[in-house]
Amino acid sequence: MKKALVFILSLSLVMFFTVSVAAEEVTITVAGGAVGQELEMTEKAAEMYMEENPDVVIEVLDTPDLAQDRLGLYLQFFEAQSSEVDVFQIDVIWPGDLSEHFVDLYDYGADEVVDMHFDEIVENNTVDGELIAIPWFTDAGLLYYRTDLLEKYDLDVPETWTELEEAAQTIQDGEREEGNEDFVGFVWQGDAYEGLTTNALEWFASSNAGTIISDDGYITVNNERAVEVLEMAAGWVGTISPSGVTGMAEEDARAVFQGGNAAFMRNWPYAYALAQDEEESAIAGNFDVSTLPAAEDGEPAHTLGGWNLAVSQYSENPEIAADVALYLAGYESQKMRAVEASMNPTIEELYEDEEVLEAVPFFGELYDVFVNAVARPSTVSAPNYNQVSEYYYQAVHSVLTGQDDALTALEYLELDLQDLTGFEIGEPQH
């Protein structure tokens, strides 16, 4: 009887302890991306955090690849003031539009780590003195090229858009003559979405055609050089680029290039590590990256990209959520992501880390590209940037698909932007 009583008491204590531990366990949900290795890397960093914090469970929510689709999902959470998601991965262009939904990370210890990150991104994420997102990884558009094919056809890395057209056509013709009918010269992001905005902005800015809306609030998108740029890009469709490029996003372009069926590709740094994977890539060891081309009288332009981590105002555990966000954006996590997935750190010191530079040499070679990238007009047009971008990429897409001519598309775009923003017409800044 005594033994039975002791057993029951012991079992009760075990059950009480188990229930107490379970009651103290907190689940934090992180809404992250899944382009390339993003999901895998976020889950790995989450595991690193959980090993150090066994009372916290991090669940990673897979979200849509396309920026506007992801934004639409986020807005549903915000409209419902839902506590379902604690930490949101947000685009570099969203802080001004979404700040009301996030906590000030300075209230949760960000002041102790924020100085490690690039000042420009911290400033971008600061709204009315509040840090509404911690920098996580940055981006800039790059030109990927096949080193083996440039050597085969005795070509240099193109420095102008004209040189790119000529090199792409030469290689495409040669590879097709040798039997690869699927081979194309140049792949990029031509679908009607935010990715097309980033591509077209690079064409415009590198050709002295402006940046849609100037920093001082003038609409510059309708000008003679812009017409020429759009006609140039439309000429790629069905020639050096497949007709289907007008439906391509990042992963579509990567699949073609990584499969060995393109000479050149415009994409973000994340594609580098994947294309170097000897088990998964047909071109491992046979490609490199460089700055994007420019017009003969222009300078290369690379659209600033990147993502940040913000903590929801509606989280039931903002303090723990903030700790998770700061950890995921911390030194060890960013280093892991850089080495394993070629994701650009926002911590300046990592660009001098030997392990990082060994894994991704161009982080050092193209450092200036990443710190001087061209920003989209998200700050000057806030809170209307999402609509500005949609007007822009739809207009560009209509030219690429032959629906409109470049002059007509830009004239209508200019009127739409005037109606939306109330800004005056100005000249592109050189």
One domain, residues 26 and 121 = yes
One domain, residues 280 and 406 = yes
User: What is the distance between the alpha carbons of residues 152 and 132, in angstroms, rounded to a whole number?
Assistant: 50
Please check whether residue 394 lies inside any domain of the structure.
Answer: yes
What angle do helix axes 194-205 and 224-236 make, rounded to 10 degrees? 120
One domain, residues 222 and 272 = yes
Please check whether residue 25 lies inside any domain of the structure.
Answer: yes
SS3 347: strand
One domain, residues 90 and 23 = yes
- Confirm if 125 and 308 have CB atoms less than 8 A apart: yes
Q: For residue 24, what pLDDT band results from cuts at 50, 70 and 90?
A: confident
One domain, residues 203 and 279 = yes
Mean pLDDT of the chain: 93
327-360 tens-digit pLDDT: 999 999 999 999 999 999 999 999 999 999 999 9
For the domain that residue 318 is a member of, what is the CATH number?
Answer: 3.40.190.10
Please check whether residue 220 lies inside any domain of the structure.
Answer: yes
| The predicted structure's pLDDT at residue 22 | 43
One domain, residues 165 and 246 = yes
One domain, residues 54 and 100 = yes
User: What is the distance between the alpha carbons of residues 353 and 336, in angstroms, rounded to a whole number?
Assistant: 12
Please check whether residue 162 lies inside any domain of the structure.
Answer: yes
DSSP letters, 250-277, are: HHHHHHHHHTT-EEEEEE-THHHHHHT-
Give yes or no for residue 388 having a pLDDT over 70.
Answer: yes
Single residue among 366, 387, 416 that ends a domain in this structure: 366
One domain, residues 211 and 64 = no
One domain, residues 191 and 275 = yes
Please check whether residue 321 lies inside any domain of the structure.
Answer: yes
Range of the domain at 74: 2-139+305-366
One domain, residues 266 and 405 = yes
Please check whether residue 430 lies inside any domain of the structure.
Answer: no
Q: For residue 16, what pLDDT band results from cuts at 50, 70 and 90?
A: very low
Please check whether residue 80 lies inside any domain of the structure.
Answer: yes
State how many domains the chain has.
2
One domain, residues 281 and 382 = yes
One domain, residues 40 and 146 = no
Q: For residue 99, what pLDDT band results from cuts at 50, 70 and 90?
A: very high
Q: How many angstroms from the chain centroid is the CA of residue 185?
A: 24
DSSP letters, 277-319, are: -TTT-TTTTSEEEEPPPB-TTS----BEEEEEEEEBTT-S-HH
